[in-house]
């Protein structure tokens, strides 16, 4: 182990989940976590892997008051041959630094972060589930910890990585989800923090999700915050539309999170010799395509669900039923290819995965 990263071992290990079919998402945590501190003048220091446990903070710590916080989400996969794989993890650390920049958090060393993650996952590899479509969810995050109520960028931070064995996102399989187009609340505007993975974007969107659940919809589709007509993204997923003759996803215009799954979907489709348009697209255009019988598939993309087919899309009083309750051809192909690469079932010709060893 690199001497840059200390390892504080414990003999007090937890019991691993007995039934891997009942893991759920994000509620079980492993024995260890990665920590690193930042202090003004010293930079990031004391990278270490320590027993998982509470972090003690001053009640005046900036993260509690002004939401100076960023996070990431990725997974470790156990392949059939026992190999442990990560999917494009360097992209997560690159994006973490993009988020850091927006939130005035000092950049981390991406190489050290990747090295630390690989060491942590290696120590915790027995926690990676082996049942179908289950994985070890990885949550890196940074919080501002300076104890000071004055509004300014903190002079102290903690970077942490925690691991959570998690079951398949949709335990019943790849069923189409119902979403509605949100026309009251907005998530983000250009110039805001929409492109950064930061807790505040979620805090402000919870109310829309609660209201959607009350109406038996699983998530909302956000429109742009200014004109309320351009499609942006879904909760924690980017969105794609398969129109007759064109695959479209909203362009990254500053208010949308640049998903790594989104990027992979675009690259995959192009590698199959098809076109993907990254452009602005209005909800009216989608609505018209639906009327003309040209809205063939709609799907979300994100690390958690990989590809999530949308079966019902509601806008104002109009309910659009897409794909007859079934997953579309392209959605299925993308899902099979992405999960195939992630779980090492098919050859990774893109160089997207790395083995943890």
Ligand X SMILES: *Cc1c(COP(=O)(O)O)cnc(C)c1O
Binding footprint of ligand X on the chain (CB under 6 A)? 73, 197, 233, 236-238, 257, 259-262, 301-303
Q: Tell me how far, at minimum, the Cβ of 58 lies from ligand X, in Å.
A: 28
What SS3 state is found at 246?
strand
Q: Tell me how far, at minimum, the Cβ of 62 lies from ligand X, in Å.
A: 22
Nearer to ligand X, 236 or 322 (CB): 236
Strands 238-243 and 177-181: unpaired
Nearer to ligand X, 134 or 306 (CB): 306
Are 39 and 106 within 8 A, CB to CB?
Answer: no
Q: Tell me how far, at minimum, the Cβ of 261 lies from ligand X, in Å.
A: 3
Nearer to ligand X, 237 or 289 (CB): 237
What SS3 state is found at 347?
coil
Nearest alpha-carbon partner for 147 in 56, 39, 60: 60
Residue 296: C-alpha distances to residues 184, 216, 220, 237 (Å) = 27, 23, 20, 19
Are 241 and 233 within 8 A, CB to CB?
Answer: no
Q: Tell me how far, at minimum, the Cβ of 328 lies from ligand X, in Å.
A: 19
Q: Tell me how far, at minimum, the Cβ of 140 lies from ligand X, in Å.
A: 12
Q: Tell me how far, at minimum, the Cβ of 239 lies from ligand X, in Å.
A: 9
Are 300 and 234 within 8 A, CB to CB?
Answer: yes
Residue 292: C-alpha distances to residues 181, 288, 326 (Å) = 20, 6, 20
Nearest alpha-carbon partner for 313 in 328, 298, 296, 291: 298
- Determine the Cα–Cα distance for residues 199 and 242; give it in Å rounded to an integer: 31
Q: Tell me how far, at minimum, the Cβ of 173 lies from ligand X, in Å.
A: 20
Token code pair at residue 45: 């220091």
Residues comprising the chain, all counted? 357
Nearer to ligand X, 221 or 237 (CB): 237
Token code pair at residue 356: 């943890």
Nearer to ligand X, 133 or 261 (CB): 261
Nearer to ligand X, 223 or 237 (CB): 237
Nearer to ligand X, 112 or 252 (CB): 252
- Determine the Cα–Cα distance for residues 270 and 347; give it in Å rounded to an integer: 17
């Amino acid at each position: 182990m690199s001497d840059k990263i200390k390892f504080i071992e414990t003999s007090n290990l937890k019991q691993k989940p007995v039934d891997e079919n009942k893991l759920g998402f994000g509620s079980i945590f492993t024995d260890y976590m990665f920590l690193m501190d930042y202090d003004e003048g010293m930079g990031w220091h004391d990278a270490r892997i320590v027993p998982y446990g509470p972090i003690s903070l001053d009640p005046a710590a900036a993260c509690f008051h002004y939401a100076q916080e960023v996070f990431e989400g990725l997974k470790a996969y156990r392949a059939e041959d026992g190999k442990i794989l990560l999917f494009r993890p360097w992209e997560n650390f690159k994006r973490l630094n993009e988020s850091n920049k927006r939130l005035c958090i000092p950049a981390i060393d991406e190489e050290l972060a990747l090295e630390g993650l690989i060491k942590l996952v290696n120590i915790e590899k027995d926690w990676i589930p082996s049942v179908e479509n289950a994985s070890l969810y990885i949550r890196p995050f940074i919080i501002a910890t300076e104890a000071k109520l004055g509004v300014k960028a903190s002079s102290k931070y903690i970077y942490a990585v925690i691991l959570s064995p998690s079951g398949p996102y949709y335990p019943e399989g790849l069923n189409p989800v119902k979403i509605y187009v949100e026309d009251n609340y907005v998530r983000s505007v250009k110039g805001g923090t929409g492109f950064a993975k930061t807790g505040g974007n979620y805090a402000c969107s919870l109310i829309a999700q609660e209201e959607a659940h009350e109406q038996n919809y699983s998530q909302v589709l956000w429109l742009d915050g200014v004109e309320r007509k351009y499609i942006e993204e879904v909760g924690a997923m980017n969105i794609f539309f398969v129109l007759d003759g064109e695959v479209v996803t909203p362009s990254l215009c500053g208010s949308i999170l640049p998903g790594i799954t989104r990027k992979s979907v675009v690259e995959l489709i192009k590698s199959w010799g098809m076109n993907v348009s990254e452009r602005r697209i209005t909800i009216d255009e989608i609505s018209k395509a639906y009327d003309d019988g040209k809205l063939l598939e709609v799907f979300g993309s994100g690390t958690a669900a990989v590809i999530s087919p949308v079966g019902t899309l509601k806008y104002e009083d109009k309910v659009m039923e897409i794909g007859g309750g079934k997953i579309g051809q392209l959605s299925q192909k993308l899902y099979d290819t992405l999960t195939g690469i992630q779980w090492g079932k098919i050859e990774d010709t893109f160089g997207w995965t790395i083995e943890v060893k």
